A and B are shown apart, each in its own frame.
Chain A
Amino acid sequence: MKVTILQFPGTNCEYDTQHAFEQLGATTEIVWHKEESIPSDTNLLVVAGGFSYGDYLRSGAIAKFSPVMKAVKAYAENGGKVLGICNGFQVLTESGLLPGALKRNDGLHFISKHHHLKVENNDNIFLEELNNGDVVNIPIAHHDGNYYIDNAGLAELQANKQILLTYTDADGSVKNPNGSVESIAGVCNKEKNVFGLMPHPERAMELILGSDDGKAMLQGFMKSC
Chain B
Amino acid sequence: MITAIVNVSLKAGVLDSQGKAVHHALDSLHFNGVSDVRVGKQIVLKLDTDDKAQAMKDVEKMCEEILANTVIEDYKIELI
- On A, residues with C-beta under 8 Å from B are 57-58, 61-62, 65, 93-94, 100-101, 103-108, 146, 148-150, 179
Contact = CB atoms under 8 A, between A and B. Distances in A.
6 contacts: A93-B71, A101-B72, A103-B10, A107-B17, A108-B17, A148-B14
B79 interface: no
Contacts of B18: 104, 108
Report, nearest first, the 8 A-B pairs whose CB atoms are least far apart. Answer: A101-B71, A101-B72, A106-B17, A148-B72, A101-B69, A104-B17, A108-B17, A108-B21
Interface string B7-19: 0001001110110
Contacts of B17: 103-108, 146, 179
Interface of B: 10, 13-15, 17-18, 21, 66-67, 69, 71-72
A104 B71 CA distance: 14
A12 to B, nearest CB: 23
Nearest to B43: A57
Contacts of A104: 17-18
Contact of A148 (B21, B66, B71): B71
B69 A58 contact: yes
A103 B67 contact: no
A147 to B, nearest CB: 11
Nearest to B68: A58
B6 to A, nearest CB: 11
Given A103-B14, A105-B17, A106-B17, A57 B67 contact: yes
Contacts of A103: 10, 14, 17, 72
A150 B18 CA distance: 20
A106 B15 contact: yes
Contacts of A149: 71
A61 B71 contact: no
Nearest to A99: B71
A93 B72 CA distance: 12
Contacts of A58: 69
A107 B71 CA distance: 21
Contact of A61 (B10, B14, B21, B69): B69
A36 to B, nearest CB: 20
B20 to A, nearest CB: 9
Nearest to B39: A104
Nearest to B21: A108
B8 to A, nearest CB: 9
B66 A57 contact: yes
A57 B62 CA distance: 13
User: Which of B10, B15, B66, B72 is packed against the most chain A CB atoms within 10 Å?
Assistant: B72
Given A57-B66, A65-B66, A100 B71 contact: yes
